[in-house]
Structure 1
Amino acid sequence: MIAISDLRSGMTFEKDGKLIKVLEASHHKPGKGNTVMRLKLRDVRSGSTTETTMRPEEKVKKAHIDSKEVQYLYLQDDMGVFMDLDTYEQYEIPTSIIKEELLYLLDNMEVKIQFYGDEVIGVTLPGTVVLRVQDTPPSIKGATVSGSGKPATMETGLVVNVPDFIEVDELIEISTQEGTYMKRAK
């Protein structure tokens, strides 16, 4: 069991038969009354998100999550197909569960998939990915890094704000945590 006050972003717990992942957690002290925890949660199986408050002293059962290195192969129907690099076993994950992660995935990219018992529940991305700019407005002559930026659509469909000097077909590094441009890739 784990106290609500000890929950952090990325942790998973069980409550009322549901498997719940913490997206955001923060302490909140209202003007009157006791401290509460504000939580943004996602039901791992259904994908629905909710925001709630709970008392810090409440306890929940921490879920034991295992992970395994795999390679993303392709999309088929409404499933992402992944392959274990050691056993060549393939895993299918519904796109409804990993729709955000798919925006960062290229064929043959190595990632980790998460298991709850024998159930595949999600994908863990690397900290950064390198993607090719598929579409962006033309660059502005004399643009600097400190400019306001412009939107760019990546080869996966992800839209990121990039500096004005970035052009179509350039490779850029993107943070998967923030979904933001980091630098040109080499």
Structure 2
Amino acid sequence: MANTSDLSRGCFIRYNNELVQVLEYEHRTPGNLRAFYQVKMRNVKTGKLVENRFRAGEDIDLVRVDFRELQYVYKEGNALVCMDNETYEQLYIDQVLFGDGLQFIKEEMNVKIAFDGDLAIAAELPLTVELEITYTEPGVRGDTATRTLKQATVETGATINVPLFVNTGDRVKVDTRTGDYIERVK
């Protein structure tokens, strides 16, 4: 049996007979009181956020989760059809698992899916993706001195903010967690 010192960000535990993923945890030792862990968790089935305080050394039920790398093929209804690269089996993964990063995913991109048995419980996108700008207002020569941003549409249809020197047809690197422009790719 594991205890609270085995907690880490992203691990899965069973809490109140529900499968939850640890989002944040902090070890606190206030003054002359006992140490404890403040843990913020997300319920895998409902998506509900839960916070709890565990005593230091308290037993917890860690759940072993299998991660598989799948290739995104296409979207069908509220599910994404992904193919296992080894068995070529097609699986339907609920789009809710991808969160806001779903707008930056494009076909043939590899994603990591966490499974509890045969049930998909979490999805991880690559941290950054390279996308082509399909439309943006043209930049004016000499507008590179300030950190001013403009709207741009990328090939997946998402809208991001880019610097003024980025033009239509340029390839840019985008952070899938926040949707922020990182750099122009050559």
Listed as ranges, the gaps of 5+ residues in structure 1 are: none
Residue 139 (structure 1) aligns with: 139
- Structure 1 position 131, deviation (Å): 2.0
CA RMSD of superposed structures (Å): 2.8
Q: Report the Cα distance in structure 1 between the residues aligned to 2:83 and 2:116, rounded to whole angstroms.
A: 18
In structure 2, the CA distance between the partners of 1:142 and 1:28, relative to structure 1 (3 Å rule), is farther
Does structure 1 residue 2 correspond to structure 2 residue 13?
Answer: no
1:18 shift after superposition: 1.3
- Would you say the 8 A contact 2:27–2:38 is kept in 1? yes
Q: Does 1:50 align with 2:60?
A: no
**TM-score normalised to structure 1 length:** 0.80
Structure 1 residue 59 displacement after superposition: 2.5
Aligned to 2:163: 163
The CA deviation at 1:21 is 1.0
| More off after superposition, 93-102 vs 152-161 | 152-161
Distance (Å, rounded) in 1 between the aligned partners of 2:140 and 2:41: 41
Does the CA-based 8 Å contact 1:46-1:97 persist in structure 2? no
Structure 2: distance between partners of 1:96 and 1:24 = 20
TM-score (norm 2): 0.80
For residues 104 and 181 of structure 2, the distance between their equivalents in structure 1, rounded to whole angstroms, comes to 12
Q: Distance in 1 between matches of 2:136 and 2:35?
A: 46
Higher mean C-alpha deviation, range 59-68 or range 47-56: 47-56
> In structure 2, what is the equivalent of residue 79 of structure 1?
79
Q: Percent identity?
A: 35
- Structure 2 counterparts to residues 116-131 of structure 1, below 5 A: 116-131=116-131
1:45-80: CA deviation from partner (whole Å, max 9, x where unpaired):
222223443333323111111122211011111111
- Report the CA distance shift for 1:109/1:6 in structure 2 as closer, same or farther (over 3 A): same
Cα displacement string for residues 127-162 of structure 1 (whole angstroms, at most 9, x for unaligned residues): 321123355565354344871544545444555443
State the AA in 2 paired with 1:11: C
Residue 171 of structure 1: how far off its partner (Å): 1.8
For the structure 1 residues 157 and 60, does the alpha-carbon distance in structure 2 shift closer, same or farther, using more than 3 Å as the test?
farther
Match of 1:64 in 2: 64
User: Contact 2:98 / 2:124 at 8 angstroms: preserved in 1?
Assistant: no
Alignment partners' CA distance in 2, 1:135 and 1:156: 11
CA distance in 2 between counterparts of 1:145 and 1:58 reads 55
**Compared CA separation, residues 143 and 39, structure 1 to 2 (3 A):** farther
Contact 1:139 1:167 in 2 (8 A): yes
After superposition, give the CA deviation of every residue in 1:152-180 in whole Å (9 maximum; x if it has no partner). Answer: 45444555443332234432112335543
State the Cα distance separating 1:6 from its structure 2 match. Answer: 3.4
Task: Flag the structure with larger Rg.
Answer: 2
> How many positions carry a matched residue from both structures?
186
Aligned to 1:25: 25
Give the secondary-structure state (helix, strand or coil) at the position aligned to 2:97. Answer: coil
Counterpart in 2 of 1:180? 180
Q: Which residue of 2 aligns with 1:39?
A: 39
How far 1:17 moved relative to its partner?
A: 2.0
Q: Distance in 1 between matches of 2:141 and 2:31?
A: 52
Aligned to 1:94: 94
